[in-house]
């Protein structure tokens, strides 16, 4: 890839993105990573990227074409001013921070800067992420293409026009893996209580969730039909679903869960 990338923050999401990029089309030495956390920076360096603990250490001739911001939303106020000079050559700015709106980046980098807000999730680490992108209308078609390629390297990409939807995206797919991991935890614990050995219960829960997810994606049928396919009349699944789909069952709980995460995303902005 000809584009030079500056990645700010090589924590969980920064590392997940880097892994997908260098596994596919990005030359590691084209990526400069800034992170004060020595351990996280070492992961980026081990992949062959150039790493610095501070932007002041970056080679003065480095002109990134893309700047990817992967620090906590609460850090943005302090971090953005330190990258204004590096962005001055018209670099595309991509932020994956929850809540932080495009307007905050326009304030820092200029009203006509090319800004894309993207919301990935942690399955990006195994290139099965869901990434939703939204741009401010100033990115060129080449910049949109670069972003799409970077995000496609870590999963499935969707673009939306209405930035207001990014909070709901964050509450659903951004935070969503945690809901599913908790479901795995709960299923495994229930299996143990039903008499299964712990290791076996964990494997059954993990493989069942992964398999159901794969089937849902591979199948043309809606999830409701796939659910019905498991459910024999008066059988075991019907007995289980009578509990899970009760009036106070999983549906209302997930609705409250996504609403709470969406509200928190709005607050972070
Ligand atoms: N985790 C997730 O599932 C998702 C997270 N996001 C968003 O991604 C962003 C990063 O989250 P995540 O990767 O989980 O967080 P992490 O804490 O794992 O990573 C953030 C990294 O940034 C470093 N850092 C702190 N200050 C600076 C600085 N001034 N310059 C450069 N790097 C700095 C941190 O160092 P230190 O550890 O020393 O603080 C850390 O290594 C957040 O904005 C979050 O909202 C988006 C989608 C999913
Ligand atoms: O919990 C968070 O705030 C981040 C954003 C989406 C997933 N993790």
Do 183 and 52 lie in a common domain? no
Q: Evaluate whether residue 75 is within a structural domain.
A: yes
Give the orientation angle of helix 198-218 with respect to helix 223-230, to 10 degrees: 130
CATH of the domain at 80: 3.40.50.720
- Proximal ligand: closest to the CA of 96: 1
Q: Evaluate whether residue 230 is within a structural domain.
A: yes
Do 13 and 74 lie in a common domain? yes
- 264 CA from centroid of ligand 2 (Å): 9
> Which residue in 101, 211, 121 sits closest to 164, CA to CA?
101
- 21 CA from centroid of ligand 2 (Å): 21
Residue 269 has a pLDDT of 86
Q: Evaluate whether residue 171 is within a structural domain.
A: no
What are the angstrom distances between the C-alpha of 120 and each of 45, 92, 131, 203, 237? Answer: 22, 18, 4, 26, 33
**Cβ density class 211-240: b for 16+ within 10 Å, e for less:** eeeeeeeeeeeeeeeeeeeeeeeeeeeeee
- 262 CA from centroid of ligand 2 (Å): 10
Residue that terminates a domain, selected from 115, 146, 166: 166
- Proximal ligand: closest to the CA of 167: 2
Do 133 and 204 lie in a common domain? no
d(CA 31, CA 235): 55
155 φψ region: left (φ > 0), alpha (ψ -120 to 50), beta (else): left
Q: Evaluate whether residue 89 is within a structural domain.
A: yes
Whether the complex's predicted ipTM is more than 0.85 is answered with yes
Contact between residue 120 and residue 17 where contact means Cβ atoms under 8 Å apart: yes
Do 28 and 148 lie in a common domain? yes
Task: Report how many domains make up the chain.
Answer: 2
Contact between residue 109 and residue 136 where contact means Cβ atoms under 8 Å apart: no
Q: Evaluate whether residue 221 is within a structural domain.
A: yes
Q: How far from each other are the two terminal CA atoms of the chain, in whole angstroms?
A: 33
Contact between residue 194 and residue 210 where contact means Cβ atoms under 8 Å apart: no
Do 48 and 123 lie in a common domain? yes
Residue 87 has a pLDDT of 95
Do 152 and 183 lie in a common domain? no
Do 16 and 92 lie in a common domain? yes
> Which residue in 125, 129, 69 sits closest to 97, CA to CA?
69
> Which residue in 102, 150, 145 sits closest to 129, CA to CA?
150
Ligand 1 lining (C-beta closer than 6 Å): 8-14, 34-37, 40, 70-73, 75, 79, 96-98, 119-122, 174
Do 205 and 254 lie in a common domain? yes
Contact between residue 167 and residue 262 where contact means Cβ atoms under 8 Å apart: yes
Pocket-testing residue among 15, 43, 70, ligand 1, by greatest number of atoms within 8 A of Cβ:
70
Domain range enclosing 158: 5-166
Do 51 and 18 lie in a common domain? yes
Residues of the chain falling short of pLDDT 50: 1
Do 197 and 122 lie in a common domain? no
Helix (H) or strand (E) holding 158: strand 155-159
Ligand 2 lining (C-beta closer than 6 Å): 98, 170, 174-175
Q: Evaluate whether residue 113 is within a structural domain.
A: yes
- 245 CA from centroid of ligand 1 (Å): 37
Do 16 and 120 lie in a common domain? yes
- 177 CA from centroid of ligand 2 (Å): 10
Give the orientation angle of helix 176-193 with respect to helix 198-218, to 10 degrees: 140
> Which residue in 36, 32, 31, 30 sits closest to 11, CA to CA?
36
Q: How many Cα atoms occupy the beta-carbon half-sphere of 166 within 13 Å? A: 29
Q: Which two tokens stand for residue 184?
A: 């795995």
Give, using CA atoms, the residue closest to atom 39 of ligand 1: 37
d(CA 83, CA 206): 41
Helix, strand or coil, per DSSP, at residue 222: coil
Do 183 and 222 lie in a common domain? yes
Query: Tokens 């990573």 label which residue?
Result: 33
Which residues have CB under 8 Å from 40's CB, separation 6+? 10, 11, 14, 15
């Amino acid at each position: 890839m000809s584009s030079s990338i500056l990645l700010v923050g090589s924590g969980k999401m920064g590392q997940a993105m880097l892994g997908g990029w260098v596994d596919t089309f990005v030359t590691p030495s084209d990526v400069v990573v800034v992170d004060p956390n020595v351990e996280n920076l070492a992961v980026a360096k081990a992949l062959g990227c150039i790493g610095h603990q501070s932007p002041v250490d970056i080679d003065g001739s480095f002109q990134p074409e893309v700047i990817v911001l992967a620090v906590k939303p609460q850090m943005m106020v302090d971090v953005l001013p330190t990258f204004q000079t590096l962005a001055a050559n018209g670099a595309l700015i991509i932020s994956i921070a929850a809540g932080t709106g495009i307007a905050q980046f326009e304030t820092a980098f200029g009203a006509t800067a090319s800004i894309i807000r993207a919301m990935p999730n942690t399955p990006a680490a195994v290139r099965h992420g869901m990434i939703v992108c939204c741009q401010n209308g100033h990115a060129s078609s080449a910049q949109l293409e670069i972003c799409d390629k970077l995000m496609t390297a870590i999963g499935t990409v969707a673009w939306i026009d209405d930035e207001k939807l990014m909070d709901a995206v964050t509450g659903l797919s951004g935070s969503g893996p945690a809901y599913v991991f908790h479901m795995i935890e709960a299923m495994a614990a229930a299996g143990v209580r039903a008499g299964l050995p712990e290791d076996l219960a964990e494997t059954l829960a993990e493989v069942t969730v992964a398999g159901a997810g794969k089937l849902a994606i591979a199948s043309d049928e809606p999830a409701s039909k796939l659910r019905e396919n498991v459910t024999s009349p008066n059988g075991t699944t019907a007995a289980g679903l009578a509990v899970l789909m009760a009036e106070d069952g999983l549906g209302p709980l997930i609705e409250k869960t996504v609403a709470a995460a969406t509200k928190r995303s709005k607050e972070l902005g």
